[in-house]
Amino acid sequence: MSKPIPDKAEVAVEYADKLYIGAFEQTARFDAHFDQVGISLTLQRTGSPNVRKSVRIHFHSALFAEILRELAKTAASLPAADTVHRVALAEAAEALCLALRLPEGVADLTPEEEVRLLHIME
């Protein structure tokens, strides 16, 4: 389920003989979700064929975990006065952390029990 982009994203793909650059602003949409092996991210700009574009990126879980670690190492470089972005990033990171934690005892469930628990939690 895609959502409006709240800010802006810029994408550059560089090949030996070509460079593709695209911007996705608030009129564009995004989708981000976990799948069986990692994280899927899609950025889409809709409209007429001459402005329509999309970018899909998939990171396996181990790579995404390393990306998060590298971001943590460089978080101190964010301007201290940029509290709006610092707070938004911290809240999002905390939400991800909480969502990834398994409830106590869940790790001992069989796959069938996990599916049942997910249906109950919905």
Q: What is the chain's mean pLDDT, rounded?
A: 89
25 band by pLDDT with thresholds 50, 70 and 90? very high
| 48, two tokens | 């007429």
Total-model pTM:
0.75
SS3 of residue 92 by DSSP: helix
Question: What is the pLDDT at residue 112?
Answer: 74
Averaged pLDDT for residues 47-60: 93
pLDDT, tens digit (0-9, with 9 covering 90-100), for 70-120: 999 999 999 989 999 999 999 999 999 988 887 766 566 677 777 776 666
Task: Please give the C-alpha separations between residue 62 and each of 69, 92, 122, in angstroms, as whole numbers.
Answer: 11, 19, 28
Average the pLDDT over each of 9-13, 67-71, 95-99 and give the range with the smallest value.
95-99
